[in-house]
Structure 1
Amino acid sequence: MTETSAPPPTVGIVFRPQSPPEDLPSVAREAEAAGIAELWLWEDCFLEGGLTSATAALLSSERLKVGIGLLPVPLRNPALAAMELATIERLAPGRLVAGFGHGVLDWMGQVGARVASPLTLLREYVTAVRSLLDGDTADADGRYVKLDRVALGWPPASAPEIAIGATRPQTLRLAGELGDSVLLDSVNDAAAVRAARVIVDEGRAESGRPGRTRVRVFAEVDPRSDAPASRIADRIAELVDAGADAVAVQAPADAPDPRPLLDALPR
């Protein structure tokens, strides 16, 4: 019997919100031309909007997969989020990853959207959005999410991948239970990835869902450093060995332009 090797990791690049939004279409085109598989976006208060940015990147490319990391769930009604995501998925089928997270709690308080139990909200929210994107009629009477016979008029043919951003054990377990993938947005050393992989897998097993929840990691590499190509290759190998299925490389906040990293990324 021939042993089946694991699929190669997915490699992507991150367009940070410290870069001006008008640069995004050209970055998407350059990333696609360079053979990069994925382009990831942030939605941080009070910078670029994640849904509008994802639409711009998708419509500026033909094959590039675009991920939003992360949409803060307190900011949007889940029905509205599902409507927007369904529209984007129909415009660019199979190329969207919809990431959800608690949001930075101080920012959520700043806009009057902070909740007492972010984990409860995230569970209720992702459950409702997934149901709507699957074309179901959703009813919910939760602590935060309340829906009465809500159904999308234009559901996508297939729901986009849902990623959940997580760092702490409870949210990692929830990501394994409900998500198609987990985004380790600020946990990117090998030991932390290895520990997160265990918790995510436990959550998936407890849910009874078949398959595996993918682990995605953002890894920062300074393009101004010497030999960035070898640094990137070593970093990706280290994270994949620890259990990551996909790695997106980002430049630091004080030099956010991702284009200097494009030539250094493995294809």
Structure 2
Amino acid sequence: MTELGAVFRPQLPPERLRAVVRAADEAGLDELWLWEDCFREGGISTAAAALAWSERVRVGVGLLPVPLRNVALTAMEAASLHRMFPGRATLVVGHGVQDWMGQVGARPASPLTLLGEHLDALRALLAGERLTVRGRYVSLDDVALDWPPTSAVPVLAGATGPRTLRLSGARADGAVLTAATPPDGVRQARRLIEEGQREAGRAGEPHRVVAYLLTATGADAEARLRAELAAEGLESVPDLGVAGDAATVAEAVRRLAEAGAGTVVLQPTGDEPDPERFVRFTAEEVRPLVRTAPRP
């Protein structure tokens, strides 16, 4: 079954989050996703608020940039969310935007090495292990969580390039793909993830793939979608993004699901005029069409 989510984009001020969370929860949305974009809202603080303001919607943070975070802090915060809101939080770690990392003096010489070390340590700490490690970037001396999660916590990685996708397969429990990934890109990502799993002796293990889908609906949907794709330099990529009514959006969701995405998250354009309406549209109009569609 395809899970369906929507994004609260950090172009919106933090005080808008509560109304969007309540709309998502009341409408029955599967997942509401948040971003930790520099230099906007913090991922953990907004996730904690969203979880506290809601009763059932699951909340994802995609993603937390690892150059900004000591892995022990990431583990502490993740464990706290999972103990307070069991089964409702999904945290994703990744490289972050390297120019932003440079702005704060945290740009690593080897982003791939840092992400791999962070993933290994984070998964171990959340599993209740006590760690002493001396890596290139991650250094821990007899560290264990006093309050580890009470059940297994999947750790996902944000991934775009081939090496990071293989790393995700080898050392993470899932991958998050950006809205610049069309269905053929999802298929290729799945192949690279599986290569990484085989190389790490993890072939056949579950690996959740989350794909963002740039989405516009309403009278000016096509124009807003084209403008955002052009602004991102993506206007020439075929089969990227969707504009239209619920049936049109549901068909685009199905194409991503058939390509290998287990979760599809609708990403509104940066100028979406009504974010509360967008999450209701996702949950009440698109979700039933996705759930009732026949599988190929």
Q: Which TM-score bucket, shorter chain as reference?
A: over 0.9
Distance 2:189 2:99 in 1: 25
Please give the per-residue CA displacement for 1:141-164, whole angstroms capped at 9, x wherever unaligned.
000000000011111102432110
Q: Aligned residues, how many?
A: 260
Matched with 2:159 is 166
Q: Is the 8 A contact 1:172 1:196 kept in 2?
A: yes
Q: What runs of 5+ residues in structure 2 fail to find an aligned partner?
A: 222-242, 289-296
Distance 1:190 1:161 in 2: 24
Residue 241, structure 1, aligned to residue 258, structure 2: yes
Q: Is the 8 A contact 2:24 2:32 kept in 1?
A: yes
Offset at residue 23 of structure 1 (A) = 1.7
Matched with 2:208 is 214
Matched with 2:185 is 192
Offset at residue 208 of structure 1 (A) = 2.2
Matched with 1:266 is 287
Matched with 1:252 is 269
Offset at residue 197 of structure 1 (A) = 0.9
Q: 1:19 to 1:159 in 2, by over 3 A?
A: farther
Q: Could you state the TM-score of these two structures normalised by the residue count of structure 2? A: 0.84
Q: 1:256 to 1:202 in 2, by over 3 A?
A: farther
Q: Could you state the TM-score of these two structures normalised by the residue count of structure 1? A: 0.93
Q: Is the 8 A contact 1:42 1:68 kept in 2?
A: yes
Alignment identity in percent?
50
Residue 22, structure 1, aligned to residue 15, structure 2: yes
Q: 1:54 to 1:256 in 2, by over 3 A?
A: farther
3-state SS of 1:221 partner: strand
Matched with 2:133 is 140
Amino acid at match of 1:11: L
Matched with 1:126 is 119
3-state SS of 2:148 partner: coil
Offset at residue 176 of structure 1 (A) = 1.1
Amino acid at match of 2:149: P
3-state SS of 2:155 partner: strand
Structure number with higher helix proportion: 2
Q: Is the 8 A contact 1:73 1:100 kept in 2?
A: yes
Distance 1:256 1:136 in 2: 46
3-state SS of 1:265 partner: helix
3-state SS of 1:266 partner: helix
Q: What runs of 5+ residues in structure 1 fail to find an aligned partner?
A: 1-7
3-state SS of 1:203 partner: helix
Residue 52, structure 1, aligned to residue 69, structure 2: no
Offset at residue 260 of structure 1 (A) = 2.5
Distance 2:77 2:8 in 1: 21
Residue 223, structure 1, aligned to residue 244, structure 2: no
Offset at residue 47 of structure 1 (A) = 0.3
Q: Is the 8 A contact 2:179 2:214 kept in 1?
A: no
Please give the per-residue CA displacement for 1:146-185, whole angstroms capped at 9, x wherever unaligned.
0000011111102432110011000001111122210002
3-state SS of 2:271 partner: coil
Amino acid at match of 2:55: E
Q: Is the 8 A contact 1:232 1:265 kept in 2?
A: yes
3-state SS of 1:158 partner: coil
3-state SS of 2:216 partner: coil
Offset at residue 233 of structure 1 (A) = 0.4
Moved more, 130-139 or 156-165: 156-165
3-state SS of 1:39 partner: strand
